[in-house]
Amino acid sequence: MLQCQQIHRSFGGLKALSAVDLSVEAGEIVGLIGPNGSGKTTLTNVVTGFYPPQEGRVLLSGQDVTGWRPHRVARLGVARTFQNLALFRGLSALENILLGRHVHTRAGVLSAALYWWWGRTEETRQRRVVEEVIDFLQLEAVRDEPVELLPLGLQKRVELARALAAEPRLLILDEPMAGMNQEEKEYMARFILDTREERGAAILLIEHHMDVVMGVCDRVAVLDHGVKIADGPPPRVGGAPAVIAAYLGEADHAS
């Protein structure tokens, strides 16, 4: 589903990614972890077209999309959530989720104005998908609430719903559980597993909560200072000396 091959990305003199390889197979949940500043979000921005790599290639289902703009990548079935919430304040949960359907909308302003029935049919089709996503993520009770009035856990769920409304084949979740309490984390973990099982989406999960990563991921890749230092099954990666040193520091690990 996704192949990142020898990705390099620098910002001025800061080398954010150095020869990073990463793959996500169809139907797989891959965790991407590492200390703050290790390059996780930079890598996802490269995959989704926000930053072009200076070296290396990105392939989606075998197609080279290196340097493509974000809207072209999205049309290939890639959707994401963001580390910092990117919801539209002043709009309801329903309206925010509807925005996730833009990649599937066919009726333009002119065509909808000239052929009102086409625009009406298009809106009905889009709303049908959105209503199903709202039911899937149990958001019925807050569908008409302004998103800025919702608790953080529900806002995160609305952002996930907006991504799912795009019907992605590859879903990238950038710290979807940041700031959540234990109950909210358990809900989100269940929704992530259900998304894979019921919707068949491959998932790249960036997350600092190691219990969640180890519990839901099939495989885990670890970045440290822009370099991939481990990749494999969660138990093996979690116990790797290089990974422990990256999180705790060499001196602490030695002690």
> What's the confidence (pLDDT) of residue 254?
39
- Per-residue tokens: 131: 């209503």
Q: Where are the domains of the chain?
A: 1-77+168-255, 88-166
- The token pair that represents 180 in the structure block: 């959540």
Q: How far apart are the first and last CA of the chain?
A: 41
Structure tokens at 116: 């009102």
DSSP per residue, 40-77:
HHHHHHHHTTSS--SEEEEEETTEE-TT--HHHHHHTT
How far from the centroid of its chain's Cα atoms is residue 131's Cα? 21
Q: What integer pLDDT is reported at residue 196 of this predicted model?
A: 95
Q: Which stretch of DSSP H or E encloses residue 219?
A: strand 219-224
Distance of CA 32 to the CA centre of its chain: 11
Whether the Cβ atoms of residue 150 and residue 122 lie closer than 8 Å to each other: no
Q: pTM, whole model, 2 decimals?
A: 0.87
CA separation for the pair 182, 179 (Å, rounded)? 10
- CA 89, distance to chain mean position in Å, is 21
Residue 255 to residue 245: CA distance in whole angstroms? 11
Give the sign of the dihedral formed by CA 241, CA 243, CA 248, CA 249.
positive
Q: Render 169-180 in DSSP notation, one character per residue.
A: SEEEEESTTTT-
d(CA 193, CA 237): 21
**What is the enclosing helix (H) or strand (E) of 198?**
helix 182-199
Type of residue at 205: L
Q: Report pLDDT for 112.
A: 45
Residue-wise pLDDT tens for the chain (255 aa)? 999 999 999 998 899 999 999 999 999 999 999 998 899 999 999 999 999 999 999 999 999 999 999 999 999 999 999 877 789 999 999 999 999 887 666 555 454 454 544 455 667 777 888 999 999 999 999 999 999 999 999 999 999 999 999 999 999 999 999 889 999 999 999 999 999 999 999 999 999 888 899 999 999 999 999 999 999 999 999 889 999 888 876 544 433
What is d(CA 89, CA 105) in angstroms, rounded to the nearest whole number?
23
Distance separating alpha carbons of residues 119 and 117, to the nearest angstrom: 5
CA distance 206 to 212: 10
Q: Nearest to residue 205, comparing CAs of 181, 230, 177, 227?
A: 177
Question: Per CATH, the architecture of 1-77+168-255 is what?
Answer: 3-Layer(aba) Sandwich (3.40)
